[in-house]
């Protein structure tokens, strides 16, 4: 039985071992678009047009450079090392997933091999061995995930470089916009009204920002 056949099999026809396998597969694998409950919720939210760009008078596609440091210049030699490390790592995750599927290992095996936090931290450590400058590393990773490998799960980017991206943004803007529940708001979602509110970056001063 192939993986697709197993995933598409009627739940009533699954053995308990197969059910456990599918649950662990969806939960632990870090780079796939699985049909878990959270992803289903996210897809539903993404399908709704909030017209946020229109509300805040913003036009055009997202500019990934807004996440990078001002005046950043790509170092091709360094970038190539970072690119190879990320590509090879994501590839190894995929191969590990296939190996786990073929072996139908136990839950312990899944936790040992596919715990996302451990995988992301290991990748972060290996990338820091290549570039110890967190600002330069983050800038190059942003280029990688938005230009060369836009299909990669950006959770990886934020897990590895989220804190530095926040620092980049903090140094380039004094405010940001966020949807807030508001009975009088003009945006509607799940029977509630929301409005786009402006917050000052200084309001976050003193808050602990992590890569989690």
* Side-chain-facing half-sphere of 39: CA atoms under 13 Å: 12
In a domain, 209, yes or no: no
pLDDT of 206 over the 80 cut? no
Q: What is the mean pLDDT of residues 18-24?
A: 71
In a domain, 211, yes or no: no
Task: Pick from 8-22, 81-95, 194-208 the range whose average pLDDT is largest.
Answer: 81-95
Cα 153 to Cα 117: distance, rounded to the nearest angstrom:
14
pLDDT of 212 over the 50 cut? no
In a domain, 154, yes or no: yes
Give the per-residue pLDDT at 59: 44
In a domain, 146, yes or no: yes
In a domain, 61, yes or no: yes
Q: Which of 33-37, 59-63, 186-190 has the lowest mean pLDDT?
A: 33-37
With cut-offs at 50, 70 and 90, classify the pLDDT of residue 73. very high
In a domain, 23, yes or no: yes
Q: What is the mean pLDDT of residues 25-51?
A: 55
Q: Report the DSSP beta bridge partners of residue 199.
A: 176
Comparing CA positions, the residue from 80, 98, 129, 78 lying closest to residue 32 is 98
Q: Which residues of 181-210 are buried (b: 16+ CB within 10 A; e: fewer)?
A: eeeebebeeeeeebebeeeeeeeeeeeeee
With cut-offs at 50, 70 and 90, classify the pLDDT of residue 56. very low
In a domain, 93, yes or no: yes
147-204 residue pLDDT tens? 999 989 899 999 999 999 988 888 787 777 778 888 888 888 777 889 888 878 777 6
Q: Which of 15-24, 31-40, 78-87 has the lowest mean pLDDT?
A: 31-40
Q: What is the mean pLDDT of residues 206-211?
A: 51
Please give the residue that has the higher pLDDT: either 165 or 28. Answer: 165
90-139 residue pLDDT tens? 999 888 777 766 665 444 444 444 578 888 999 999 999 999 999 999 99
Taking each helix axis from N to C terminus, what angle separates 134-143 and 116-130, rounded to the nearest 10 degrees? Answer: 110
Please give the residue that has the higher pLDDT: either 36 or 70. Answer: 70
Taking each helix axis from N to C terminus, what angle separates 116-130 and 154-170, rounded to the nearest 10 degrees? Answer: 60
Show the domain range for 59. 3-204
In a domain, 87, yes or no: yes
Structurally, how many domains does the chain consist of?
Answer: 1
- Do 160 and 127 meet the contact criterion of CB atoms below 8 Å apart? yes
């Amino acid at each position: 039985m192939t993986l697709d056949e197993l995933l598409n099999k009627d739940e009533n026809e699954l053995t308990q071992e197969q059910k456990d396998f599918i649950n662990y597969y969806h939960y632990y694998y870090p780079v796939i678009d699985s049909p878990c409950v959270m992803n289903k919720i996210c897809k539903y939210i993404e399908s709704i047009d909030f017209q946020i760009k229109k509300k805040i008078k913003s036009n055009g596609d997202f500019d990934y450079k807004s996440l990078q440091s001002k005046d950043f210049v790509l170092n091709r030699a360094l970038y190539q090392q970072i690119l190879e490390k990320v590509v090879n790592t994501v590839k190894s995750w995929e191969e590990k997933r296939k190996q786990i599927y073929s072996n139908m290992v136990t839950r312990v095996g899944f936790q040992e091999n596919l715990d996302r936090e451990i995988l992301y931290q290991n990748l972060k450590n290996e990338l820091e061995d290549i570039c110890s400058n967190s600002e330069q590393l983050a800038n190059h990773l942003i280029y990688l995930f938005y230009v060369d490998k836009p299909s990669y799960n950006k959770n990886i980017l934020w897990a590895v470089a989220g804190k530095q991206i926040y620092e980049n943004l903090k140094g380039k803007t004094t405010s940001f916009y966020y949807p807030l529940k508001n009975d009088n708001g003009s945006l509607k979602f799940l029977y509630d009204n929301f409005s786009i509110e402006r917050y000052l970056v200084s309001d976050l001063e003193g808050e602990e920002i992590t890569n989690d």
